[in-house]
Structure 1
Amino acid sequence: MITGWISYHNSNTKYQLSDFNQGKLFFADHDKNHELKTIILGEIFNTNLSASWVFSSGRPFTSLENLYVESGSGYEIFSKGDYNNERVKSSHHLDISLVKSLEMSKVQIELGFSIYNLYNKKNIAHKRYNPFSRELSIKDISMFGITPSIFAKISF
């Protein structure tokens, strides 16, 4: 038997602070406008198979043009324009897993194997700013690439 589901999430998380960003609304660092998840589950010969695909819109970040490092500030980064005015690229990944169930006498064993980000997409999680370089710089920080794992569960 094969089952599954699809879910979609839409949200906007914004803040407004009177003494930050000239009092204008800005997107929260953790804001994701769209997220779509699809899950497929199946079982064959005491083996559970699953696959999930997740798509997320990119998180906001502040472009370099809107940032500066004030001398004598101890390398503190300041915003001179709109905060979180851009977004990293959308991300997506496909994950799969296989779990085999065995029973021996009074012992139940589950052996599993899974792969996160099967096609090894270099999704950008966020941006990191470096105020210690000669000029302020920004670097993409990626999420995990392809990540296999195995597990065993023994119950008695």
Structure 2
Amino acid sequence: MTRSLTPRPLTPEAFAPFGEVLDASGQPDRIINAGLCGRFHDRARLDFGAETGGRAGISIFDAVPRALPYEFALVERHPEGSQAFLPMTMSPFLVIVARDEDGVPGRPVAFLTAPGQGINLHRGTWHGVLTPLAAPGLFAVVDRIGASPNLQEYSYDDSWTVLAP
């Protein structure tokens, strides 16, 4: 049995239970570089599990683009650190998240980013795999680097399909 979701636009308010939206909307917090650059200051709460020896790292991901409708069953989470996805193109991507319900993900929610938006997932947030909707699927990813395990995966018994909006 396949269940369906319709993605909604990614907004800071709707995404707040899962993390932060990273974009340059609104007015900059500061003007720097002799007035030639707007700084949108401190937009995400980064958490890298320092108590277990973690540190921040920046990696480059090159994900295969998908198309809507998109079917999935696998989600994952990172219990030792937050994870930020910063697209290196202006193409939108699909974000799938779910609240934790006693150690397993609940009903997923799908968001569709606008061009220029990235996300920062809070530590322990269940989420789908990186899902660009256009090539190239290049992302800078800021997450925890460390020796202890930081990945938990879960497969729903029945798959979900994200429909086109």
TM interval, shorter chain, is under 0.3
Which of these two proteins has the greater Rg computed from alpha carbons?
1
Which is strand-richer, 1 or 2? 1
Higher relative contact order (CA 8 A, sep 6+): 2
Q: How does the TM-score come out when normalised to structure 2?
A: 0.21
